[in-house]
């Protein structure tokens, strides 16, 4: 059965929805906001979340609380946000794992590109190839030689299956022929602890979470994964200087559940961009390494789509899968 809805009723409905979104934005936020981190405390995603939560609390006039929901290679925390009310009070830190998992996992209960609304980019950073100090190598070339001579002695840690840390290592394995056992952890923090203790031998970590341990000599940096050297580690070469064509990087931003009112997204986007323009915040983020990626929600959305396509090729070429 078809119903003919009078035109003025449709106009009233559209007007009502518009006014509702505007009213929500005008009053937003009026209670604490939760910023979900899909990892354990200690890694780059968590570090950035805590830095941004402080700044956003000041800009928005409401407390922004960081809440860790690790597990499932980032998927548990992500699905929690996907299923949350689309009201701007539950946000997530988006990272390359979200782009990678679209191909790596065959049975996800969500489609990240369709189910998360991009809010704003924060920063793009290199990953850094770090090894435990007990490993007798000081260069990428020496590592490859050692790895091939000892195919059962090198364990490669990651912050979880499907993270950029994991896939950076898988890309390295594919391009060098090195055989390494993958040991996934629930976040970079636990992985770093075991690397320092010598329980694992190598980690392709996001630079911000490793930089302090590199500088105090607790782990050894062999190379950064970007195509050019990182200013904060000028004496550390790129992987590509030994393995031509190798390149990987990590990026981070904020996302909200699909359907979050555009006025709320714009308000959040403006607050993030104001923070990224603040010299004090710029210095704080610069100390972590990498470059800022300010812009519109659409700009950040393009990064998500582009990296989803890039890592799809890497996942398929490496043969990496997760049940």
**Tens digits of residue pLDDT in 220-268:** 999 999 988 988 899 999 999 999 999 888 899 999 999 999 999 999 9
Reported as type and span, the H/E element at residue 19 is helix 7-27
What is the model's pLDDT at position 2?
44
pLDDT value of position 142: 98
Fold adopted by 127-241: D-Maltodextrin-Binding Protein; domain 2 (3.40.190)
Q: Where in the chain is the domain with CATH 3.40.190.10?
A: 127-241
Residue 172: its H or E element: helix 164-176
Q: Which of 116, 93, 113 has the alpha carbon at shortest distance from 103? A: 113
Ranges of beta strands (E only) in the chain are: 33-37, 64-68, 90-94, 116-132, 155-158, 181-184, 202-206, 219-224, 249-257, 291-292
By C-alpha distance, which of 43, 240, 45, 76 is closest to 157? 43
The alpha carbon dihedral of 268, 99, 214, 226 has a sign of negative
β partners of residue 107: none
Alpha helices of 28-139 — where are they, by DSSP H? 44-60, 75-82, 96-104, 112-115
Short-list 96, 81, 30, CA closest to 255 = 81
3-state helix, strand, coil in the chain (%, to 5): 45, 20, 35
Residue 170 tokens read as 């898988």
9-125+249-318: CATH topology is D-Maltodextrin-Binding Protein; domain 2 (3.40.190)
Q: Count other C-beta atoms under 10 Å from residue 188's C-beta.
A: 30
Contact 245, 239 (CB under 8 A): no
Q: Looking at the chain, which residues constitute the CATH 3.40.190.150 domain(s)?
A: 9-125+249-318
Half-sphere exposure of 321 (CA within 13 A, CB side): 5
| Rg, C-alpha atoms of the chain | 21
Q: Which residues contact 178 (CB under 8 A, 6 or more apart)?
A: 143, 144, 147, 148, 154, 172
Residue 310 is predicted with a pLDDT of 86
**How much is the pTM?**
0.78
Question: Nearest to residue 143, comparing CAs of 168, 181, 178?
Answer: 178
pLDDT of residue 164: 83
Would you say 153 and 202 are in contact if contact means Cβ atoms under 8 Å apart? no
* pLDDT given at position 7: 59
Q: How far is CA 99 from the centre of its chain?
A: 9
Cα separation values, 94 from 33, 47, 119, Å: 16, 13, 10
- Taking 70 as the pLDDT cut, the residues of the chain under it are 1-25, 323
Residue 161's pLDDT is what? 79
- Distance set, CA 140 to CA 123, 179, 269 (Å): 26, 14, 40
Q: Which residues of 198-224 are buried (b: 16+ CB within 10 A; e: fewer)?
A: eebbbbbbbbbbbbebbeeebbbbbbb
């Amino acid at each position: 059965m078809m119903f003919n809805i009078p035109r003025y009723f449709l106009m009233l409905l559209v007007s009502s929805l518009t006014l509702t979104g505007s009213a929500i934005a005008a009053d937003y936020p009026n209670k604490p906001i939760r910023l979900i981190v899909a990892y354990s405390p200690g890694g780059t995603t968590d570090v950035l979340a805590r830095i941004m939560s402080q700044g956003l609390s000041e800009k928005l006039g409401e407390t922004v609380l960081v809440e860790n929901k690790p597990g499932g290679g980032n998927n548990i925390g992500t699905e929690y946000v996907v299923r949350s009310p689309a009201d701007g009070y539950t946000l997530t830190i988006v990272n390359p794992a979200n782009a990678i998992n679209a191909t790596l996992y065959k049975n996800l209960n969500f489609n990240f590109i369709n189910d998360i609304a991009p809010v704003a980019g924060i920063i793009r950073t290199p990953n850094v190839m770090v090894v435990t100090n007990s490993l007798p190598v000081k260069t990428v070339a020496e590592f490859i030689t050692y790895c091939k001579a000892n195919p059962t002695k090198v364990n490669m840690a990651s912050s979880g299956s499907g993270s950029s840390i994991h896939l950076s290592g898988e890309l390295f394995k594919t391009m060098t022929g090195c055989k390494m056992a993958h040991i996934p952890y629930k976040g970079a923090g636990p992985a770093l602890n075991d690397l320092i203790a010598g329980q694992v031998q190598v980690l392709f970590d996001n630079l911000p979470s490793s930089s302090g341990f590199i500088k105090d000599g607790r782990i050894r940096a062999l190379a950064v994964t970007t195509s050019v050297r990182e200013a904060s580690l000028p004496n550390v070469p790129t992987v590509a200087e030994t393995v031509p064509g190798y390149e990987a990087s990590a990026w981070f931003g904020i996302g909200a559940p699909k359907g979050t009112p555009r006025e709320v997204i714009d308000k959040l986007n403006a607050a993030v961009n104001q923070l990224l323009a603040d010299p004090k915040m710029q210095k704080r983020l610069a100390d972590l390494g990498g470059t800022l990626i300010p812009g519109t929600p659409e700009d950040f959305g393009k990064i998500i789509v582009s990296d989803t396509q890039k890592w799809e090729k890497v996942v398929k070429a490496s043969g990496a899968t997760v049940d």
